[in-house]
Structure 1
Amino acid sequence: MAGSSESGPSPEDEMQISFDNHSFIVPKKEINMFPDMGKWKRSKAYADYVGFVLTLNESVKGKKLACDFKTSEPVEKLVLLLNTLDRWIDETPPVDQPSRFGNKAFRAWYNKLEKEAENLVSNVIPPEFSAAVVEAAVYLKESVGNPTRIDYGTGHEAAFAAFLCCLCKIGVLKEDDQLAIVFCIFDRYLQVMRKLQKIYRMEPAGSQGVWGLDDFQFLPFIWGSSQLIDHPTLTPAHFVDEKVVNERHKEYMFLECVRFINEMKTGPFAEHSNQLWNISAVPAWSKVNQGLIRMYKAECLEKFPVIQHFKFGSLLTINPVGS
């Protein structure tokens, strides 16, 4: 981030762990009952996760998806990993079944990931950090939806962000990878998730229906609204204009999310996506961005049904901040 050299260490430097006598562990659930939510809010994992989301939010401000940014070797390897997941969808077509939603072929696709996750992650993590593979791979497996319920939601999306956060903490992804993390890796992840949602007709996990922001995603709305801050012509009112969305969706993550909603849902936008419709009345993208960050904390990070599934290891630890 700009100016970080003058103001002491950047969030990435502070987040990075030392490998000397560090023990990696397989992440597990720690939030079992509603009162455990206090532990989560006080945890280093919460502080690191929110810090990660906000750092990326700052780095993409005012930038188009196609802007110039460097892609390091780990970034390219992560895109190859996501390309593999995409290819597996093509190799695992949906099966004929009586129910329209939750196609059981997703389970076959997921089984492949479960078997291969550590191999996939070890292609991204250099040999000297190989002890971290077992820990990072868990977040990758958690990030694609639930094979029992055949659903996907913001908790799965959070697991993918946590996976990337872990790669930053061990130093595989670096500070100058920030734009590529959002515009290259996360954008590719979204493409694969949309394909999964569409091909296997996945149910929204814990959806609030018409009162939720979106059935499946949240982070691309935050980062996508940051991209549009101080845009000379596009205002929040424009994203409900289908013509604008169709013309500009390749430049801005927010508009790409809206385009996907328009593709998947029928009827008036104000009815099927009421929360988003309300947001289109906000005058400035900076206000939209601040509001979405508050909403994300309240509706996702502070909701027990979402966080009960989050897993904690040595990189994203349940230990309280300052311990």
Structure 2
Amino acid sequence: MDSKQSFASSVVAEDHEYVTPKKGIMSVEDMHIWEKSEAYSEIVGFILAMNAAVRGKSLSCKCAVSPVTEGVVALLDKLDVWIDEVPPIEQPQRFGNKAFRTWIDKLREGALGLLQEALPREFHRAVPEVMVYLVESFGNQTRIDYGTGHELAFLMFLCCLFKVGAFTASDQAAIVCKVFHRYLRLVRRLQLVYRMEPAGSHGVWSLDDYQFVPFIWGSSQLVAHPRIEPKSFVQEDIVKAYAHDYMFLGCIEFINKVKTGLFAEHSNQLWNISAVPSWSKINYGLIKMYKNEVLAKFPVIQHVLFGSLLPLRLLQGNQKIY
């Protein structure tokens, strides 16, 4: 499969044996197993397929919205309401509000029921495996931080729903424009309300303290846009006008909201990207950067969990590594 094709869901047999996902990359020496594994191929294939599905499409584009898509969005809506029910507590330190631990405990306790409510009964056997990725998608309970590893867990959650057949090829645009965008709004609120630390931030040399994938899919949305050029995203009026319709500009709006000072100083990497002549080149470069800066980094991948749907086993035959 290449980036122009749909993501192929795998219909799991009725007698498929689901397992609880667990860590598999224990040392830097194990990274070569990950990079040649079925799980790696599946997650990169998923990212590329969603990237192609939203090429040139705004967040408000007309797209098929299935009952499963609606169910997952409703699940994320409930998690957002829980933030109101678990307000931050008064504490001495500025960052890492301990109320987040209560919120994540509530998710751990309720994940099974939430997913059973969101998914048709035929997929309920898969829920104990799939829900592990959902719980890992919102931050670390001990450190009260969030980063690209948690974002990756959510991608793996979505990918698993494809693997079991809950999502189909017709859901692809909605997965980005409805589901992932809803997730993005939720985790931003978590970051602000509970003052979450960035997990493994590279500071000004990274795209963002917390996210990466919305820049990939967001740049794809802007390919061949008649008005918005790469140099446009550093212009405040363009960001304000289009942030709600294009994920990339939404990311810039959020950065401008939470950071002070000159954009070129606090977001140097993005400032440099604004000089690239086309969105298609930016998109290609960000995919390459994601592989190098996230998927190839042991500090991120050591926390990845592997199960029956995204296994840490080597690809067989002519299966493709991206």
TM class, shorter-length: over 0.9
Counterpart for residue 312 of structure 2? 318
For residue 64 of structure 2, what is the amino acid of its counterpart? Answer: K
The answer on 1:283 being equivalent to 2:277 is yes
Contact preservation (8 Å) 1:236, 1:284: yes
2:138 is the counterpart of 1:141: no
Other structure's SS at 1:220 match: helix
CA contact (8 A) 1:279 1:288 kept: yes
After superposition, the C-alpha distances for 1:55-91 in whole angstroms (9 at most, x for unaligned) are 0000100011111012110000001100010000011
Partners of 1:63 and 1:227 within 8 A in 2: yes
Q: After the TM superposition, which residues 285-304 of structure 1 pair with which residues of structure 2 at under 5 Å, given as runs?
A: 285-304=279-298
- Give the partner amino acid of 1:139: Y
- C-alpha distance in 2 between matches for 1:127 and 1:210: 46
Report 1:152-167 matches (<5 A): 152-167=146-161
Distance between the aligned counterparts of 1:130 and 1:178, measured in 2?
Answer: 22
Aligned length in residues: 317
Pairwise CA distance, 1:250? 1.0
Distance between the aligned counterparts of 1:137 and 1:84, measured in 2? 15
Distance in 1 of aligned mates of 2:73 and 2:123 = 19
Pairing 1:150–2:144 present: yes
Distance 1:320 1:150, change over 3 A: same
Residue 126 of structure 1 and its aligned partner are, at CA, apart by 2.1
> Sequence identity, in percent?
56
1:121 Cα deviation (Å)?
1.3
- Matched AA of 1:29: K
Measure the CA separation in 2 of the matches of 1:127 and 1:217. Answer: 33
Whether the 8 Å contact between 1:11 and 1:51 is mirrored in structure 2 is no
Q: Which amino acid aligns with 1:279?
A: I
Query: Which residue of structure 2 lines up, in the alignment, with residue 185 of structure 1?
Result: 179
Match of 2:248 in 1: 254
Alignment partner of 1:24 is 2:56: no
Runs of 4+ in 1 over 2 A off after TM superposition: 1-4, 10-13
What TM-score does the superposition give when structure 1 sets the normalisation length? 0.96
- Alignment correspondent of 1:68: 62
Shift of 1:2: 12
Q: Distance in 1 between matches of 2:307 and 2:20?
A: 6
Q: Which moved more, 1:115-124 or 1:157-166?
A: 115-124
Matching of residue 132 in structure 1 with residue 126 in structure 2: yes
Task: Supply the distance in 2 between the matched residues of 1:20 and 1:246 (Cα, whole angstroms).
Answer: 49
Q: Which amino acid aligns with 1:131?
A: R
Give structure 2 stretches of 5+ with no counterpart. Answer: 318-322
Contact 2:230–2:279 under 8 Å retained in 1? yes
1:19-74 deviations in whole A, cap 9, x for unaligned? Answer: 14311000000001001101100110000000000000001000111110121100
Question: Is 1:218–2:212 an aligned residue pair?
Answer: yes
- Cα separation, 2, equivalents of 1:3 and 1:22: 29
Per the TM alignment, residue 11 of structure 1 is displaced from its structure 2 partner at its CA by: 5.1
How far is 1:193 from its partner?
0.3
Residue 266 of structure 1 corresponds to 260
Q: Which runs of 5+ in 1 are unaligned?
A: 5-9
Counterpart position of 2:320: none
The partner residue of 1:111 within 89, 105, 112 is 105
Contact 1:12 1:169 in 2 (8 A): no
Provide the alpha-carbon RMSD of the alignment.
1.6
Q: Distance in 2 between matches of 1:219 and 1:97?
A: 33
